[in-house]
């Protein structure tokens, strides 16, 4: 596994954004994953959609090619360390984004995101911006 998808990439894929779909298909053989909190955000989208049953079917199809990574004690330690650093610098980011970043750091994965503005605050995080943005 080499890449961790942020919610933005997952949503862009599910919405059929051509550049994102092509990029993810090209990276699939290297291994793609999402964090469990990203999955929670995606389920919010399912239940906000006009047709939750259809949206959930699309989500399950999408998930069939991914690993889903949980949050463990080490990820929590990284989260606490990075949150303290960011607060001390006066540049905090949202907790969900920080859990995603912490997961990426723990597993040494490249984070696929459109939200570079927030994620670039986390030292040592490897980021690949969406080709379609």
For the chain, the domains span 3-128
Tell me if 71 sits within 8 A of 86, measured CB to CB.
Answer: no
pLDDT by 10s per residue, the chain, length 133: 799 999 999 999 999 999 999 999 999 999 999 999 999 999 999 999 999 999 999 999 999 989 999 999 999 999 999 999 999 999 999 999 999 999 999 999 999 999 898 899 999 999 998 655 4
pLDDT on residue 133 = 47
Torsion, Cα 58 110 17 36, to 10 degrees, reads 30
Residues 6+ apart with CB under 8 A from 97: 6, 115, 118, 119
Q: Which of 28, 45, 33, 126 is nearest to 71 (CA)?
A: 33
Q: For residue 127, what are its two tokens?
A: 């980021």
Q: Which CATH superfamily is domain 3-128 in?
A: 5'-nuclease (3.40.50.1010)
Q: Is the pTM of this model over 0.85?
A: yes
């Amino acid at each position: 596994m080499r890449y961790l998808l942020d919610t933005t990439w997952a949503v862009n894929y599910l919405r059929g954004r051509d550049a994102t779909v092509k990029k993810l298909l090209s990276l699939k053989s290297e291994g793609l994953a999402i964090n469990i909190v990203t999955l929670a955000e995606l389920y919010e989208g399912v239940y906000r959609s006009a047709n939750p049953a259809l949206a959930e079917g699309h989500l399950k199809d999408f998930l069939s090619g991914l690993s889903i990574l949980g949050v463990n004690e080490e990820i929590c330690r990284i989260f606490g360390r990075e949150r303290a650093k960011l607060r001390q610098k006066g540049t905090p980011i949202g907790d969900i984004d920080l859990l995603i970043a912490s997961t990426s750091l723990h597993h040494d994965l490249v984070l696929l995101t459109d939200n570079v503005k927030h994620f670039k605050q986390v030292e040592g995080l490897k980021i690949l911006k969406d080709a379609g943005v």
